[in-house]
Amino acid sequence: MASTLITGANGQLGRSLRDIAEKLPGTLHFTDIGELDICDRSAVNEYVKANDIDLIINCAAYTAVDKAEDEPEVAGRINSGAAAILAEAAKENSALLVHISTDYVFDGNGPRPYRESDSTSPASVYGKTKLAGEKAVEESGCRYIIIRTAWLYSEYGNNFAKTIIRLAQERGMASVVFDQTGTPTYAGDLANAIAEVASHKDDPEFHKNGERRIYHFSNEGVCSWYDFALEIVERAGIKTATIKPVTSDLFPSKASRPAYSVLDKGLIKSTYGMTIPHWKISLKKCIDSLNNNK
Ligand SMILES: NC(=O)c1ccc[n+]([C@@H]2O[C@H](COP(=O)([O-])OP(=O)(O)OC[C@H]3O[C@@H](n4cnc5c(N)ncnc54)[C@H](OP(=O)(O)O)[C@@H]3O)[C@@H](O)[C@H]2O)c1
């Protein structure tokens, strides 16, 4: 009986996967650290074996980018060590591991959208530990698909979109950087992309050609955080709010962030025949959903 393990299932992406559970294959096991600590090798091995898991979707991560500068060991244990543990369990059970990574593996000095084959050069502890996680998965010998994503937001948890709405409502203004460029990713769209990828897990064609690869996924389009914030308040109907464009030097942060981190999604689109919505369309969807659940 096919069985899927989703780790970090209380996070943004994990909760978005719960929303589309009917699109995921087999019996579903949604777990977070309370049910399964992915840093615990024997617990992971036992869980995967006992539940006959043949697909692991790893949404668990240490995602506090600035805090990671002060806690490199903790970030490394979750983002890299646990990725190795999951990959080892996947290999032993002939399971497919779908592992999520980040645009922070790049330094952000690129002249064009990043392709999967571009050389990596993370500038932060978070980016370094995520890259080490990718390498651990690649070197494990398991069946894997790594999906790098960027600027993730959703109805859940804390994220940029929800922060801007709160600041606009409470203070009537927010200062937002316009010198960092990328593309937002609605977690609901990433969840659908993962379901699409997972639906091919038993297809021999994809087994041979679509696996053991890195893919890039974000929404379509390009913007600065400032453009993103403007669209958020517009869509949320907060007409009185002022969004002020500022440069990054006004917001000194512990971790260095890529100035340019647009991802080229050509490979995932051509491999899986995917159509990806423009970021503005998905932002509207997310804000409508937030408004409906008020
Ligand atoms: N957020 C972004 O902008 C962004 C951008 C690019 C890529 N990504 C990647 O996308 C993926 C999903 O991100 P997200 O925003 O959904 O993350 P998230 O909201 O921070 O969720 C991660 C979940 O993993 C859990 N977790 C932490 N340590 C664990 C452990 N040892 N065992 C089991 N669960 C554990 C967390 O629990 P606690 O909350 O209790 O720690 C949390 O529920 C991650 O791989 C992330 O690196 C995110």
Output the domain CATH number for residue 266.
3.40.50.720
Q: Judge whether residue 115 has pLDDT over 80.
A: yes
pTM: 0.98
Rounded to the nearest whole angstrom, what is the distance from the C-alpha of residue 59 to the centroid of ligand 1? Answer: 6
Into how many domains does the chain fold? 1
59, 71, 105, 257, best to mutate for ligand 1 pocket (most atoms within 8 Å of CB)? 59
Contact 108, 259 (CB under 8 A): yes
Q: In the structure encoding, which two tokens stand for residue 167, read together? A: 């600041």
Helices 160-171, 279-292: crossing angle, 10 deg rounding: 60
Rounded to the nearest whole angstrom, what is the distance from the C-alpha of residue 242 to the centroid of ligand 1? Answer: 31
Contact 79, 61 (CB under 8 A): yes
Q: Is residue 82 part of a domain?
A: yes
Closest residue by Cα to residue 114 from 212, 271, 64, 122: 122
Q: Is residue 283 part of a domain?
A: no
Q: Is residue 225 part of a domain?
A: no
pLDDT band at 207 (very low <50, low <70, confident <90, very high): confident
Q: For ligand 1, which residues put their CB under 6 angstroms from it?
A: 7-8, 10-13, 32-33, 37-39, 59-61, 63, 78, 82, 100, 102, 130, 149-152, 157
Q: Is residue 174 part of a domain?
A: no
Helix (H) or strand (E) holding 32: none
Report the alpha-carbon distance of residue 207 to residue 186 in Å, rounded.
27
Report the alpha-carbon distance of residue 211 to residue 142 in Å, rounded.
10
Q: Judge whether residue 294 has pLDDT over 80.
A: no
Q: Judge whether residue 1 has pLDDT over 90.
A: no
Q: Judge whether residue 213 has pLDDT over 90.
A: yes
Q: Is residue 245 part of a domain?
A: no
Q: Is 153 part of the annotated catalytic residue set?
A: no
Q: Is residue 273 part of a domain?
A: yes
Query: In this predicted structure, what is the pLDDT of residue 21?
Result: 98
7, 44, 63, 144, best to mutate for ligand 1 pocket (most atoms within 8 Å of CB)? 63
Contact 116, 216 (CB under 8 A): yes
Q: Is residue 265 part of a domain?
A: yes
Closest residue by Cα to residue 37 from 91, 90, 77, 95: 77
Helices 187-198, 279-292: crossing angle, 10 deg rounding: 110
Query: In this predicted structure, what is the pLDDT of residue 107?
Result: 96
Report the alpha-carbon distance of residue 55 to residue 128 in Å, rounded.
26
Q: To the nearest whole number, what is the mean pLDDT of the chain? A: 96
Instruction: Check 126, 186, 215, 226 and give the catalytic one.
Output: 126
Tracing tokens 């992915």 back to the chain, one arrives at: 38
The one-letter amino acid code at 226 reads: Y
Q: Is residue 133 part of a domain?
A: yes
Domain, as residue range, for 41: 3-154+185-219+261-277
β-strands 143-149, 213-216 pairing: parallel
Q: Give per-residue pLDDT as tens, 140-194.
A: 999 999 999 999 999 999 999 999 999 999 999 999 999 999 999 999 999 999 9
Q: Judge whether residue 69 has pLDDT over 80.
A: yes
Q: Give per-residue pLDDT as tens, 20-66.
A: 999 999 999 999 999 999 999 999 999 999 999 999 999 999 999 99
Q: Give per-residue pLDDT as tens, 273-283.
A: 999 999 999 99
